[in-house]
Chain A
């Protein structure tokens, strides 16, 4: 492979560092709500790009070979080509879509299991709570990346859905813990006593009298699981254990690392997915910190 022949970038558009610094500083001065909305805005923009991009720009096959090894950006291929000569911009759109889908499935699975375990433990208390939370704590201590690696090598052909599900079933314990705490504080409320007196069963009590009261909380937990699912997928794909026969942000990085895009200066191959993952992660942490302050006012500064 003649990697040295790959042209080096000369025309990259550079942001002045000062502009970036100032805009970041401005972010810090703004209140919870603005921080919250900025993070929602960033995530929203990425979602729109991944979902609407392929529809608006016409369907293309992200795995189709359109050029040579690391062709630089041009009017035909807006972000150049990758090591197989595939269009990076198309890959970015479809890769974003794949990553989002996996994040969505992982978030849904994790939230579903977490809410089920958390509400049951928090609502029933006693032995059931101890057993469920014991299991939760055991699962938390076993590092999820290990289970993910082992599961991924066990499943030879990994579809997008399978990836989402296995990420989801390794990340539910955090949601379960948070939901249990919320449920336990709801348990003492009067309306629950009334409902209990009327003879309602556990499941209907949880569905009717507990979950509606913490829907916003559950939604927040879901958003966090969604974003961290995307990052988990990226890490797995980077290790070479991503979904098969498709493209995702992590897989793009995996190939560009294997085919030395960084060292040969083919920035268009690795920079876009890196930036996308960074934005997703930053939005996640921004969201988390604004929610933290929302739920725990003592962390707030006057």
Chain B
């Protein structure tokens, strides 16, 4: 086995272990709730007067067989795994009889549409700003650095709350929340897209500002580290112009930043749950929020599983990519980061 293959196999094994552990936690922890969650649910349904007699019994049976609650725990786990493999995340408690996977698929595009552009744009602007600050130094560096540090340190939901109040309530420039105007139905028409865009800017801004700040801080310290490297001094000593040396520094400082980008995209689903809650944006965060309030365990489990898969996959791909790039770079990265 070549060293690279060994690296590949070990990494894969560790990530598989992490995945199995996460799935097990996802399965087991909600079952620690005292009593049978289905009993509580059905009792609530009966009290609400929504379903009665035969219908209630059918719902009860559906949940019991779906969870395999009448069987031992290990068998329940196997049932759970089997369902997962078929992409079946179960039936929602709160929006009966909607499938959890359908609810998630409906919310996911909103989350991706909100986060992905924010991550990409924030990454581009942040890196340019950080590199410039490191290179220019002086007051520009000081101003950009401290502002970035401050902005990136604000918990993202705090910034969201302040922006919502500042730009939609105190100074009503933007609509105060939601993904689209109240009473509209999501369709692919111009007027709907324009309406959705109007609701888009404020949550987008709250995310992009944080990303810019965080990336700028990281890029600046990477670039300063590179600025002090021997090769910079040597290139200067041979009369290579500064603007050319800057491209060296930028490229070398970039590598860890690319990793950061991949990881941000991976943690996209769980990265800004509360932003959506603050703005009432119809994505995964809002879905999770209402699921938690209504004790909709299958839905909560579905969302947490999605978050785990995204993050594990991104981490795994980044690790494998490093193995491909170069064993030396891999060693350097492992040692320094």
Contact = CB atoms under 8 A, between A and B. Distances in A.
A202 interface: no
A257 interface: yes
Contacts of B300: 149-150, 153
Interface stretch (B102-110, B266-274, B325-333): B266-274
B164 interface: yes
A185 interface: no
Nearest to A137: B14
Given A146-B304, A289-B149, A153 B30 contact: yes
Given A150-B26, A153-B297, A285-B149, A270 B161 contact: yes
A277 B22 CA distance: 30
Interface in A250-289: 253, 257, 262-263, 265, 267, 270-271, 274, 277-278, 281-282, 284-286, 289
B169 A281 contact: no
A241 B157 CA distance: 16
B311 interface: yes
A301 interface: yes
Contact of B32 (A24, A28, A155): A155
A155 B29 CA distance: 9
A144 to B, nearest CB: 10
Nearest to B165: A262
Nearest to A231: B155
A265 B145 CA distance: 33
A235 B158 CA distance: 10
B32 A154 contact: yes
Contacts of B164: 262-263
Interface size band for A: 35 or more
B308 interface: yes
A174 to B, nearest CB: 13
A33 B292 CA distance: 44
B18 A138 contact: yes
A4 interface: no
Interface string A158-175: 000000000000000000
A143 B312 CA distance: 9
Nearest to B305: A146
A13 interface: no
Given A149-B304, A270-B165, A282-B153, A141 B158 contact: no
B26 A274 contact: no
B193 interface: no
B146 A146 contact: no
A48 interface: no
Interface residues of B, number: 64
Contacts of A257: 161, 277-278
A154 B14 contact: no
A263 B149 contact: no
A238 B142 CA distance: 34
A147 interface: yes
A146 B270 contact: yes
Interface stretch (B76-84, B111-119, B220-228, B252-260): B220-228
Interface in B150-166: 150, 152-155, 157-158, 161-162, 164-165
A257 B176 CA distance: 12
A56 interface: no
B35 to A, nearest CB: 9
A241 B292 CA distance: 8
A151 B304 CA distance: 12
Given A150-B29, A240-B292, A138 B17 contact: yes
Interface in A106-152: 134, 137-138, 141-143, 145-147, 149-151
Contact of B274 (A142, A238, A278, A281): A238
Interface of B: 14-15, 17-18, 21-22, 25-26, 29-34, 137, 139, 141-143, 145-147, 149-150, 152-155, 157-158, 161-162, 164-165, 168-170, 176-177, 217, 221, 224-225, 228, 267, 270, 273-274, 277-278, 288-289, 292-293, 295, 297, 300-301, 304, 307-308, 311-312, 315
The 4 A-B pairs of least Cβ separation, nearest first, read A28-B146, A285-B153, A28-B142, A150-B29
